[in-house]
Amino acid sequence: MPKVRKEKKEKKPRAKAEEKHILTISGKRKRAIAKATIKPGFGAVRINKRPIEAFSFLRRLKLLEPLRLAQDILKDKMQSIDINVNVRGGGVESQVEASRLAIARALVAFTQSEELRKAYLNYDRFLLVADVRRKEMRKPGDSKARAKRQKSYR
């Protein structure tokens, strides 16, 4: 029986890493960890699959700070960037602050703009540098981290 050769399928050209250009950057605050994924798109910003408009007024203002500063510097580029943030752990405020840090870091890394980095540092250092304060551990034999055992003199 003669061997039949199968025709080779033409390989589709794969998209190069430069064309995709997807970055994932993380930010932390207390026990909250946020991972921001930034990629070319249509200007959508989502946190845990929720649009940024779904947050309360003050939390939305805090989340929009890095975006507004970037809008002034990057102008039209902001309309072609999608940001998706996944946040786990911590409380609601810590999650907002971790998301804010991750968004700002992702924008600086994605655009590689030194001007944007300087603008963030001048406005608020905590847009790029994580706040390292953590909850103090509780001491054995005491009720809280700093509270000492009460003495009774009777």
pLDDT of residue 78: 81
pLDDT confidence tier of residue 106, bands split at 50, 70 and 90: very high
CATH number of the structural domain 21-127: 3.30.230.10
Average pLDDT rounded to a whole number, residues 106-132: 91
Per residue in 75-87, pLDDT (tens digit) is 888 888 899 999 9
Kindly report the average pLDDT of the chain as a whole number. Answer: 86
Average pLDDT rounded to a whole number, residues 80-96: 93
pLDDT of residue 1: 62
pLDDT of residue 16: 43
- The full set of domain ranges for the chain reads 21-127
pLDDT confidence tier of residue 103, bands split at 50, 70 and 90: very high
- Judge whether 106 and 38 are in contact, CB under 8 Å: yes
- Judge whether 102 and 27 are in contact, CB under 8 Å: yes
